[in-house]
Amino acid sequence: MAKVLVTFKEKFHNDHVYRKGEPYPAEGFKADPERVKFLSENHPKLNEVFLQASSSEKQTEQKKEIEKTPDTKDAVPSATENEKQTTEEQDADPKGKAKAKSAGAKKDTAKTEEK
């Protein structure tokens, strides 16, 4: 069930007129979840929100959105995993670590000479 916020004629319910404050859907009609979602959001052309969805409908929509969202937990490593990988790479190649330090030292020397 949803509550009508703005009076409108529902083309999918035999042009039934829903008035502000009435429940949606009217007796004898079924509410399509996609239609309720559409009417509960800002209409792109009319700049109006026609329905206030009940909390149970909102929870159902949130569950559907979560189910649609791909699980990327395994696909994208977290920052801590990236840090672990970097540390392991540096431990495996101590020369690379030394090069990084010496390159930084050369930059510092160049800055000192410019002054």
Identify the band that residue 82 occupies on the pLDDT scale cut at 50, 70 and 90.
Answer: low
Identify the band that residue 113 occupies on the pLDDT scale cut at 50, 70 and 90.
Answer: low
Tens of pLDDT along 18-75?
Answer: 999 999 999 999 999 999 999 999 999 999 999 998 766 555 555 555 566 565 555 5
CA 88 to the chain's CA centroid: 33
> Does 3 have pLDDT greater than 80?
yes
Given this model, what pLDDT does residue 53 score?
87
Tens of pLDDT along 94-105?
Answer: 555 545 455 555
Given this model, what pLDDT does residue 56 score?
60
Q: Report the pLDDT averaged over residues 1-26.
A: 96
Alpha-carbon distances of 27 from 10, 13, 35, 51, 88, rounded to whole Å: 13, 11, 17, 16, 66
**By CB neighbour count within 10 A (0-12 exposed, 13-18 middle, 19+ buried), where does 86 fall?**
exposed
Q: Which residues contact 70 (CB under 8 A, 6 or more apart)?
A: none
